[in-house]
Amino acid sequence: MELSKLIKYARGEEEADLLLKNVRLVNVLSGEIYLTNVAIARTRIVGIGEYRAKEEIDLDGYYLCPGFIDGHVHIESSMLTIPEFAKAVVPHGTTAVVIDPHEIANVLGLDGIRYMLESSKYNPLSVYVMLPSCVPSTDMETSGSRLASYDLAPLFSDPWVLGLAEVMNYPGVIFGNSEVLAKIASAGDNPIDGHAPGLSGRDLAAYVAAGVGSDHECTTIEEAREKLRLGMYVMIREGSTAHNLRDLLPLVTPENSRRMMFVTDDWHPADLMDKGHIDHLIRLAIDQGLEPIIAIQMATINPAEYFGLKELGAIVPGRRADLVLFDDFKNFRILKVWRGGKLVAEDGKIIPWERPPRPVTLRSSMNVNWDGVDFRIPAQSSRIRVIQVVPGQIVTRKLVTEAKIVDGYAVADVERDILKIAVIERHMASGNMGKGFVQGFGLKKGALASSVAHDSHNIVVVGATDDDMMKAAREIEAMKGGLVAVADGKVLARLALPIAGLMSEKPINEVREELEELTEAAKALGCTLKEPFMAMSFLALPVIPELKLTDKGLVDVTQFKFVPLFEPER
């Protein structure tokens, strides 16, 4: 809108398009709630109070607040495309998200980032991007891409790119790794997100001095307080995997709350459907005793200010009319949602919108050299290192135990819950294959496989027999990525994820249904884990202790080095 036109609307010289009458306005700037009207022209808020408008809607004294902003989320973790994700979150009041396309970038590099940017267009959800800073996350696994500072630099000119995403390689910052510092420099004055669990003292000071402005990995009040004191924004995370809100909320006070915001990080289909999105975090915070105005600020103006989104986050003249109508602070039921002055959701339902056909093509991400795939493990001694799963956590334990050896090969031992695990490189057809053993799944037969395996997303397979493991791995390739459960050579359940091996083309209800079928199939095979595929997805992540497996071999994360599968004989 032309500035002169905006001024005329604001002065009441021209009739507004829409007047939302009789609302209790949640003013996140003044900290007040008061009864008034909100005038909208085209996509903008043009005034508060008495205005003439072409259309008037009496909203019966319900509460009106700015649209919610998720300050850090990996949409790939939902396994949904961006339009399907939008359908799920917009009815819950989310009108903007800040994504880190780290997962798809590890598979498809710049093509993956561009895919996320392109598929974000023409949706009822504003999708802003922070550029992945760590692709690959380590050199101990094979990813589908390697992004240097000069690869990222041109993308900072895109208006939907806000800054540099979570700098996971904090040792690289602290010890002055030239490439890590070059990425930070390439961000210029744009926001730089952090990822530094447990970092403290002078090392944290160095990290902050380098320009890192936020962190979403705090798990204790002490950790969050130290980061606040050094000038960082604290992102309070409540996701499907990590639940930190209740632990961190006691730190929030009226004096420091404007330096905090809510984020989900990873949010899965069942939680989207059953709990909602940022509205769930607000509801939870208020239930825990947080002042409602502060809770709303942490979901609106705080992330808007941190990311420099000057047109979002508040209901004042000139800002975009991203608005949420809700009943009260007790139930916090979302009634209506507007984005850019247009009603986009009502009574928990998305309002259908026209999206011009914009096919965004991606290459296949399945490039496996099957000549190198052999699940047999020749015995080199009688003792093996075993990855021990910790239920409900992404950390593992190290176990050294006797191997079950048959005809000179180490094999799965279901009686002791020791299964085979393999990671098959799927990006470069290198033939790399890591093999090992894992305890804690409880499978009595069959195999599970997935192309979702953080961070490089190679194919991970856990199973009781080599034949079923091969069948499961082959099925992953046939689906162009996904999750599968197999037994006796037959597929019991599957979910195809043909977009980079990470995302489905199906609607959320079908994705959830197929995920639940997979979980039930795993349970029928004897699996004792509540979410076996989630647990499996972190077994190849060589930056989370203690013992992990990549396509290059077994990694002792506490020593950050490869270790042999077999222990020497005593």
pLDDT of res. 358:
74
pLDDT of res. 117:
96
Q: Tokens 């019966």 correspond to what residue?
A: 60
Give the tens place of pLDDT for each residue, 184-194. 999 999 999 99
Residues in CB range of 69: below 8 A, 6 or more apart: 94, 95, 96, 97, 98, 261, 278, 299, 300, 303, 304, 309, 312, 313
319 found inside a domain: yes
pLDDT of res. 138:
86
Residues 447 and 527 in one domain: yes
Give the tens place of pLDDT for each residue, 72-121. 999 999 999 999 999 999 999 999 999 999 999 999 999 999 999 999 99
260 found inside a domain: yes
Domains contained in the chain, number = 3
Residue 512's pLDDT band, with cuts at 50, 70 and 90, is very high
- Can you give the residue range of the structural domain that contains 507? 370-562
360 found inside a domain: no
Residues 317 and 302 in one domain: no
Mean pLDDT value across residues 216-237: 97
Cβ pair 115, 76 in contact under 8 A: no
What span, in angstroms and rounded, lies between the C-alpha atoms of 381 and 555?
19
452 found inside a domain: yes
Give the tens place of pLDDT for each residue, 297-332. 999 999 999 999 999 999 999 999 999 999 999 999
What span, in angstroms and rounded, lies between the C-alpha atoms of 162 and 153?
12
pLDDT of res. 242:
86
DSSP string, 127-192: EEEEEPS-SSS-SSS--S----HHHHGGGGGSTTEEEEEEE--HHHHHTT-HHHHHHHHHTTTS-E
Give the tens place of pLDDT for each residue, 142-161. 999 999 999 999 999 999 99
361 found inside a domain: no
pLDDT of res. 1:
86
Examine the fold and report which residue of 354, 383, 417 is the final residue of a domain before the chain moves on.
354
DSSP string, 442-468: --SS-EEEES--TTTT-EEEEESSHHH
Residues 152 and 89 in one domain: yes
What span, in angstroms and rounded, lies between the C-alpha atoms of 222 and 198?
10
Residue 241's pLDDT band, with cuts at 50, 70 and 90, is confident
Residues 17 and 165 in one domain: no
Residues 97 and 142 in one domain: yes
Residues in CB range of 351: below 8 A, 6 or more apart: 124, 343, 344, 345
pLDDT of res. 526:
98
Query: Sign of the C-alpha dihedral, residues 206, 207, 210, 215?
Result: negative
pLDDT of res. 90:
98
The percentage of residues in the chain with a pLDDT greater than 70, rounded to a whole number, is: 100
Give the tens place of pLDDT for each residue, 473-504. 999 999 999 999 999 999 999 999 999 999 99
What span, in angstroms and rounded, lies between the C-alpha atoms of 449 and 423?
10
**β strands within 327-432, DSSP E:** 334-339, 342-346, 349-350, 383-389, 396-402, 404-406, 409-411, 418-424
CATH of the domain at 25: 2.30.40.10
Residues 484 and 423 in one domain: yes
273 found inside a domain: yes
422 found inside a domain: yes
pLDDT of res. 393:
82
Mean pLDDT value across residues 404-412: 97
Query: Sign of the C-alpha dihedral, residues 198, 202, 203, 205?
Result: positive
Mean confidence (pLDDT) of the chain: 96
pLDDT at residue 287 is higher than 80: yes
Residues 63 and 73 in one domain: no
Closest CA to 401 of 383, 378, 381: 383
Give the tens place of pLDDT for each residue, 351-380. 999 888 777 788 899 999 999 899 999 999
Residues 322 and 438 in one domain: no
Residues 301 and 400 in one domain: no
Residues 94 and 212 in one domain: yes
531 found inside a domain: yes
Residues 504 and 386 in one domain: yes
CATH of the domain at 143: 3.20.20.140
What span, in angstroms and rounded, lies between the C-alpha atoms of 126 and 121?
8
pLDDT of res. 172:
92
pLDDT of res. 570:
73
Residues 63 and 85 in one domain: no
pLDDT at residue 560 is higher than 90: no
Cβ pair 87, 334 in contact under 8 A: no
